[in-house]
Amino acid sequence: MATLSFNSARINTPSLQSQKSISKPQFSTKPNNLSFLSSSKNNQNLHRFKQNSVSESSVSVPKEAFDESEDDDPTSELSYLDPETDPAGVTEWELDFCSRPILDIRGKKIWELLVCDSSLSLQYTKYFPNNVINSITLKDALVTISEDLGVPLPEKVRFFRSQMQTIITKACKELGIKPVPSKRCLSLLLWLEERCESVYMRHPGFQKGSKPLLALDNPFPMELPENLFGEKWAFVQLPFSAVREEISSLDERFVFGAGLDLDLLGIEVDDNTLIPGLAVASSRAKPLAAWMNGLEVCSVEADTGRGGLILSVGISTRYVYATYKKTPTTTSEAEAWEAAKKACGGLHFLAIQEDLDSDDCVGFWLLLDLPPPPI
């Protein structure tokens, strides 16, 4: 239901509007009177496939507790690779290894390994009892996925739970895989949301009202590292057609940044829809964009209470990206920018330029605010 794609950036038709120095309080271009299409979720890519049922172990639940067909059996596991997909091209996986709101026959929470790629061409699930959760179990499972589906081990594995970083990092490094802590696991996050309703809540061991064991962190924002400072910034807006052009030219122009596969996300946006963004200018724009490119940029938010902008990167790192003097005008501008994001389902962008008057970018990231997973 979601995806991550890495594509291009160049802002030209029309140029980014509204310029502003980071040190100044007022903002130019208001993202007011924007007409956004409502976003819709598309579950067509979240295939439901028949597969091996859970082995008879402490994870098992009495079969008589569930009497629907095996195709719809929420206790079954999934192991799928799209037959039209080139296995060698699946080089990056997204992974969640966490407990589920489901009790096994011992009354303990079942754990699940959930793995996919950004296009959901690869999908794998496996349940585990809570007494085998370690890096060895995970490493063996990753090897099993590779062997069962006939795909090479990935170059990178993205994951979004900080509490599992030690186990995931150790398992990945022992297999020569680069672990990437990142909330840009959008395919995984939306698949997890879909499975919560279609699988977990229908499981005979489901525990309604069960709280997440590993809730996502939302720490207090830290001071921005010196190498990430820009010199000027502005709230801006671009028609979606121009945003799409920026994303599609990333690889061609060797620009830093990342895109999103909105078709897979199920987000429909009209070409004329104005997408809110943040433009940052710096005389050292290329080094700045290069540093940002290694941070797994997740989102930018306006904190009207403190009078600043918050940059979220990685799993749980938040920086005070910029500040402004709070006035009724600046507060109104920031609120309007946040309202514009909400109106288009959380879609926004970050652009890095050498000058705010320029039509070109050296870095462009399409971003999406997502609520934390329900489990």
Confidence of residue 68 (pLDDT cuts 50, 70, 90): very low
Q: What is the pLDDT of residue 253?
A: 73
Q: What is the pLDDT of residue 335?
A: 96
pLDDT at position 65 over 80: no
Confidence of residue 8 (pLDDT cuts 50, 70, 90): very low
pLDDT at position 269 over 70: yes
pLDDT at position 36 over 60: no
Q: What is the pLDDT of residue 66?
A: 46
pLDDT, one tens digit per residue, over 333-355 is 999 999 999 998 899 999 999 99
Q: What is the pLDDT of residue 164?
A: 94
Spatial neighbors of 208 by CB under 8 A, at least 6 apart, are 101, 201
Residue 225 CB neighbours (<10 A): 10
Identify the CA nearest to 88 among candidates 23, 182, 27, 154: 154
Q: What is the mean pLDDT of residues 249-263?
A: 82
pLDDT at position 87 over 90: yes
Lookup: tokens for 353: 């330029």
Q: What is the pLDDT of residue 214?
A: 57
Instruction: Read off the DSSP letter of residue 295.
Output: S
pLDDT at position 185 over 70: yes
Report H helices in 23-83. none
Higher pLDDT, 66 or 73: 73
Higher pLDDT, 45 or 88: 88
Spatial neighbors of 39 by CB under 8 A, at least 6 apart, are 265, 266, 267, 268, 344, 345, 347
pLDDT at position 229 over 70: yes
Alpha carbon 60 to its chain centroid, in Å, reads: 32
Confidence of residue 34 (pLDDT cuts 50, 70, 90): very low
Confidence of residue 60 (pLDDT cuts 50, 70, 90): low
Q: What is the pLDDT of residue 215?
A: 62
Q: Across-strand partners of 53?
A: 76
Q: What is the pLDDT of residue 20?
A: 36
Confidence of residue 49 (pLDDT cuts 50, 70, 90): very low
pLDDT at position 4 over 60: no
Residue 216 CB neighbours (<10 A): 15
Q: How far is it between the farthest Cα atoms of the chain?
A: 68
Instruction: Read off the DSSP letter of residue 56.
Output: S
Q: What is the pLDDT of residue 25?
A: 29
Lookup: tokens for 32: 């007011």
Q: Are 92 and 186 within 8 A, CB to CB? A: no
Sign of CA dihedral 295, 99, 122, 173: positive
Q: Are 374 and 196 within 8 A, CB to CB? A: yes
Q: What is the pLDDT of residue 261?
A: 84
The pLDDT mean for the chain works out to 81
Q: What is the pLDDT of residue 250?
A: 80
pLDDT at position 175 over 80: yes
pLDDT, one tens digit per residue, over 272-328 is 999 999 999 999 999 999 999 999 999 999 999 999 999 999 998 999 999 999 999
Identify the CA nearest to 242 among candidates 8, 11, 5, 31: 11
Q: What is the pLDDT of residue 63?
A: 47
Q: What is the pLDDT of residue 316?
A: 87
Q: What is the mean pLDDT of residues 102-126?
A: 95
Q: What is the mean pLDDT of residues 145-150?
A: 97
pLDDT, one tens digit per residue, over 151-172 is 999 999 999 999 999 999 999 9
